[in-house]
Amino acid sequence: MARPQKLEAAARKDALASLNGWREVDGRDAIAKTFTFKDFNEAFGFMTRVALVAEKMDHHPEWSNVYKTVEVTLSTHDAGGLTELDVKLAKKMDAIAGK
């Protein structure tokens, strides 16, 4: 499997424009989003479904959960920053969340 390459300026701008509600992280080459659900059960269900997808992709998010809120940060550590893998996982997370 080819090592993912860090997105450069134009590709990065296009990728961010294609994502809904994701923002760049200050001081890091990463993107982040806050997902808010109806309750803890819904938030945990989201995390479980994303975990299955992330495992298949072999690309895992940085995230935390407090009650109905899930904070997510995506960056490809092997590449030293944002890659197409992060964009793909972000889109899959949005689809799972229905957002």
For the stretch 55-98, pLDDT in tens is: 999 999 999 999 999 999 999 998 999 999 999 999 999 999 99
Mention every residue, 6+ apart, whose C-beta is less than 8 A from residue 18: 87, 91
* Domain that residue 76 falls in: 9-97
Q: Which pTM was predicted?
A: 0.93
Q: How many whole angstroms separate alpha carbon 84 and alpha carbon 66?
A: 28
Q: Is residue 4 part of a domain?
A: no
Q: How many whole angstroms separate alpha carbon 5 and alpha carbon 81?
A: 9
The confidence band for 1, taking pLDDT boundaries of 50, 70 and 90, is low
Q: Is residue 50 part of a domain?
A: yes
Q: How many whole angstroms separate alpha carbon 9 and alpha carbon 95?
A: 26
Q: Is residue 38 part of a domain?
A: yes
Sequence length of the chain is: 99
Flag whether pLDDT at 11 surpasses 80.
yes
User: What is the residue-wise DSSP string for 28-71?
Assistant: SS-EEEEEE-SSHHHHHHHHHHHHHHHHHHT---EEEEETTEEE
Q: Is residue 1 part of a domain?
A: no
What pLDDT shows up at residue 42? 98
What pLDDT shows up at residue 9? 86
Q: Is residue 2 part of a domain?
A: no
Q: Is residue 45 part of a domain?
A: yes
CATH number at residue 25: 3.30.1360.20
| pLDDT > 70 in the chain, percent | 98
Residue type for position 57: M
Q: Is residue 63 part of a domain?
A: yes
Q: How many domains does the chain have?
A: 1
Q: How many whole angstroms separate alpha carbon 87 and alpha carbon 19?
A: 8
Q: Is residue 54 part of a domain?
A: yes
